[in-house]
Every structure is written in structure tokens, then in C-alpha cells.
Amino acid sequence: MKKVRVAIIGQGRSGRDIHGSYLKNDARFQIIAAVDFMEERRKRAADEYHCDVYADYRDLFKRRDLDLIVNATYSHMHAPVSLEILKAGYNLLCEKPLAPKVRQVDLLIAAARKSGKVFAIYQQARFAPYFTQVQKVIRSGVLGRIVQISIAFNGFSRRWDWQTLQERNGGNLANTGPHPLDQALQLFGEGMPNVTCFMDHTDNSFGDAEDHVKVILSGRSHPTIDLEISSCCAYPCFTYNVYGTRGGLKGTSASMEWKFFKLSEAPKQKLTRDPLCKPDRTPAYVNEELTWHAGSWPEAPNAKAGQAGYSAAAAPVQGGMTGMFYTMLYNTLTSGTPLKITPQQVRRQIAVIEKCRRQNPQIYKRA
């Protein structure tokens, strides 16, 4: 088994608590270098990973024994540092958000193409079990044509760290948004959606970036996507709600249910222009009995196999979403398997975020 030798730039919540915490326990990877401007974090990294440590990430460019560099710097540094890494000739995994501007993403894609190196972005929520199940139900066709998908990643919190600052590319849409927005764009389908966005900056955020966002994605022959990312929801709400012409789905990251009817089982109806009447000729409203079929996830332990045709228990995965992401990346680095999450896909996400900011000049005056 080939061991991928890794350097991690940044030993904060992402660099240490996500990437370092996972990679030090995966035998396919070996952390051989870590970078942080804080001395105490460098010392901790040396103790935890038994690796070389640096205060300046550019010192990594003197090494030729690196198979991958993870960029977990401040959000506003993701694009410029990633560009340096690619130009220096290293495979790159960049944390989200990738960049504030599409033109920066284009520079990164061009640099990766020129260097011939792997360029990946850490969008691990694409592998979330609940999202996989939503996709499975929709693709089965039982819900009919999908009309609308409402997604809420809401909670309540006050925040006063650097991720509340525009100068650090902070705010809810850049901090939390890349995960549900990536999922939303996958469900929207190909092409650039029409974007309508409402943002608010409340006194719960001590910086100048937004802490409440509603984004509506729309387009002809596409479902309407209604996405909320708010820190002002006192009743936390992490939900999916799918509207279809034959049924619907609702649920959270932990469980979901859906129901649908089959057109072949529905009463035969036809349009009428005459007033509807009951048998006694008094006025009536449209009314019919539909046979509903149901599914759930995770599947109930005693459920019959194949009931409703689309239930599936959530199988535990080693390392969860992070493990699935790094398995994808390992296969790309060692066998050339194409990335499932590409820079071009993330480019569309950044284009949406850029449009959202332009539509809210009361907050983003220089977007």
C-alpha cells in the first residue's frame, strides 16, 4: 500500500481538529510536516504527529518528499496560498471556502492544469449519509417531478471570532454555506441558476459579515431551491423538505421519511368546467382518496425488506464523511481515479456566493 506523505498548513480547528485528527489515524497517510505561525501549535503538532514543523509555509517548497499539501489557513488566504502551492508543483487539498471571487478560482484551475497536479477542495458534506439518501429517493422517481427543495441549516448563536469579518472572507454563506450550497447545486442540476439572495447582519455577530442568509436558486426545467443559513433561529432547524408532483420527503441529518402515490393506482380524473356537486346536488370541493406508499431512513429494524422499495439503513463508515472524502482523494492520488468533487463544481458555488454578495450592497459594499 502506497503511503501518501502530507503537510498541513494551519493547526487551528480545521487543520488540527479535522485533517490532523483524521490523517494521523489513517495508515494510508503520513503527516510529515505541519505549519503554524503560533509556536504553541507547532510544538503540539510535533508531539502529536512526530513531524517537522515550520512557522512559514513557504519552507515546505524546499521539500520534494511531499505527496499532498493541505491548505487550512485563514479563509481569505485559501486562494492566494493555494495558488502558490500549485505553482510550486504540489498536489493540493484546500479547505472551504475556496475563494471570494470566481476569477481567483479560474487562476487556480489554470495553475493546476499547467502543473498537472491534483487540485481538490474539502467539501466532505457531499458524502453525508442523509444527502446520499435524499439523492437516492429523488433519483428513484417515486416523488415525480421535483418542484421545490427547501433546505435549512439554522441555529442560534452569537459569534465574535475572525470568521465574522469580511476581510477574512467570513460570514454564514462562506463559513457554513459551502456545505448546503454544494448539496443544493447538485440537486438543482447542470447550469448556472438564477440567484436571489437576502442577507442580514445582526448584533449577534460582532464582525461586519452576515449572520442570516436566504438564497433562492431557480431556473427553467429545474426545481426551485430555497436555502436558509441563519444564526438567528432560536429553534435549531437542520432540515430537508422536498416537494414533488407525486409525493414528498422531509427529514433531518439523522432521519427522514417520504411518501408518494402511484399514478396507476389513482382515480381517473378529467378537467371539468361545470360546478362540482355532491350526490345530493349540493356544492362540492374536489376530493379523492389516494393510496400513499411510505419509506423511511434509517429503516426500522423490523421493517420488511423492500418495503416501499426505497428504504435503506445508514451503514457506519470508517471516519464518516472525512473518511469517505480522503478515500476518494487517496484513490485519485495513487490510481488516478477522477475526483467526484471537482474545482469546476466548486467554481459554480463561488459564482453563486459572489452574486449573493453583490445583491446585498448594504453589507458587501465592495462585492
Q: Which helix (H) or strand (E) holds 238?
A: strand 232-244
Per DSSP, what are the bridge partners of residue 92? 69, 119
Instruction: Write out the chain's pLDDT in tens, 367 residues.
Output: 799 999 999 999 999 999 999 999 999 999 999 999 999 999 999 999 999 999 999 999 999 999 999 999 999 999 999 999 999 999 999 999 999 999 999 999 999 999 999 999 999 999 999 999 999 999 999 999 999 999 999 999 999 888 988 888 989 999 999 999 999 999 999 999 999 999 999 989 998 989 999 999 999 999 999 999 999 999 888 899 999 999 999 999 999 999 999 999 999 999 989 999 989 898 889 888 999 999 999 975 443 333 333 333 333 345 799 999 999 999 999 999 999 999 999 999 999 999 999 999 999 987 7
**pLDDT value of residue 318:** 54
Question: Distance between CA 86 and CA 357 in Å, rounded?
Answer: 28
Question: Distance between CA 341 and CA 18 in Å, rounded?
Answer: 18
**Residue ranges of domains in the chain, CATH in brackets:** 4-122 (3.40.50.720), 126-319+353-358 (3.30.360.10)
**pLDDT value of residue 176:** 93
**pLDDT value of residue 7:** 98
Rounded to two decimals, what is the model's pTM? 0.90
In the 8-state DSSP scheme, what is residue 220? Answer: T
SS3 state at 95: coil
- Full strand arrangement of the beta sheet holding 68-71: 52-54, 29-35, 4-9, 68-71, 92-94, 119-121
What would the DSSP string read from start to end of 284-305? --------EEEEEESPPTTPPT
